[in-house]
Structure 1
């Protein structure tokens, strides 16, 4: 029923794009289609400067929206492939294909636990379909990387390298490969990323890089000013900034959180946790790295849950199982719910000062609960007589 509902939402959105249903405000997929058209027009560099982008938005859609373009140039090639299609068809092709790929990868990882994983991910799936974002694409690449790391295949570096389109979401898995001494995997990842960067430079021209770096600088300014929709973010930084703490304090807290969570990956290896758990924790840890982490990026949580759920269900109490489900729904559904409430109370124009981002709090509790449950049997084993030591490295 959930998957049928997602299909209905996709069809409804496509019909809106086609003008057969009432129009909607500009969303993330509109930004993808606009950027893709700018690639074909030869002015994609302007997309990285918000005033110029707003002018193009107005010319192409008759509307303007705060949707800064900060994606690395390789992603420009992805959206360029969609631009020749009418936007409704492009939406169906992109979201439909990436959602199908994501679900297939989840099924491969989760096995018999596929249905519970999908139910636990319900808010995340709705967010991804509603906005037309690239979360299903990055979730698919993350899942393929995890499958490769589990089997010790060096080709895990191929999807890992393709995460150059959103590199901050690959940090946890890169750390996992590094501390596991997966040198060939990392070499393939580096070569794949380098080829993607070279290809985008050849196609788009060298001038794309100064434009991209300028866009990154603009994004830093916007983030420090709280101009982004903070209530849609799941980071510690967004939470603290939405509570009016200084940007420097929020950033320091974000760095400390990222370092602490990433530090659990080598600790898990040292304590000899099963490889499936280590890889799952690495996928989950990636979501705590960047201050710029949105609810649609929680597809990585789905990959982590697919890896960890068999062990979690075997060790957690019924109350803890319900807590995991509730916390996951709170994290994934907060932005959707808060956005609806803000819009109902304030209208379509939501000011930054009205936004409160609280998703990071249940997300941290979720991570802590997962770590506690996974450690439970490890502690029991050690108490019986097994002493934890360094884990065997993942084959390169």
Structure 2
């Protein structure tokens, strides 16, 4: 599974602890979305951010549920490419590769390495996806600030 819940549960914690931590993460993500909405980003940016958050909500997400992030990527690509710093671009590229390769590694490499087809390692994709969401929201917030700053400059120029 690809959630904070799955990460905490597969780390050996109790179901209740895993669910509380997952819900806390979801509430933080929803709060970031609400905060972003107050910055009045373009509709495609707000919708893309909403898709990112929706991919984090279910504690029972699997890798195949992440296909919805393709819609987010399409909606956010222009903004992220324009406003992301180089390090943020590298982090997002690494996350994309990790998410894409994770299932193959679990299916092909891990069983041969540990000699057991049933044992699975800690499910790391929950924290990886949240880290990606944090980077994306940083970039989106910065892009909203850039739009707001350019609007102020246009207002000042038109007042002169």
TM-score (norm 2): 0.85
Match of 1:314 in 2: 82
- Give the direction of change, closer, same or farther, for the CA distance of 1:385–1:278 in structure 2 (3 Å limit): closer
Find out whether 1:280 has 2:48 as its counterpart: yes
Match of 2:17 in 1: 249
Structure-2 separation of matches of 1:281 and 1:245: 30
Find out whether 1:265 has 2:36 as its counterpart: no
1:347-366 mapped onto 2 (5 Å cutoff): 347=115, 349-351=117-119, 354-366=120-132
Match of 1:340 in 2: 108
Match of 1:323 in 2: 91
Report which of the two structures shows the higher radius of gyration computed on alpha carbons.
1
Structure-1 separation of matches of 2:125 and 2:29: 17
Structure-1 separation of matches of 2:143 and 2:87: 17
Aligned residues between the structures: 152
1:211-230 mapped onto 2 (5 Å cutoff): none
C-alpha contact (below 8 Å) 1:298/1:332 kept by paired residues: no
C-alpha contact (below 8 Å) 2:36/2:141 kept by paired residues: no
Runs (5+) with no aligned partner, structure 2: 153-160
Structure-2 separation of matches of 1:335 and 1:290: 19
Structure-2 separation of matches of 1:381 and 1:296: 35
Match of 1:5 in 2: none
Q: CA deviation at 1:382?
A: 4.1
Q: CA deviation at 1:384?
A: 6.0
Runs (5+) with no aligned partner, structure 1: 1-232, 387-396
Match of 2:155 in 1: none
C-alpha contact (below 8 Å) 1:234/1:331 kept by paired residues: no
Find out whether 1:239 has 2:7 as its counterpart: yes
Q: 3-state SS of the aligned residue for 1:245?
A: coil
C-alpha contact (below 8 Å) 2:80/2:140 kept by paired residues: yes
1:140-155 mapped onto 2 (5 Å cutoff): none
Structure-1 separation of matches of 2:101 and 2:71: 17
C-alpha contact (below 8 Å) 1:265/1:282 kept by paired residues: yes
Cα offsets for 1:330-381 (capped at 9, x unmatched): 1232232123222112446313xx4211112221111011111111132244
Structure-2 separation of matches of 1:294 and 1:359: 10
Structure-2 separation of matches of 1:307 and 1:384: 22
Q: 3-state SS of the aligned residue for 2:41?
A: coil
TM-score (norm 1): 0.36
Q: Which has the higher contact order (CA 8 A, sep 6+)?
A: 2
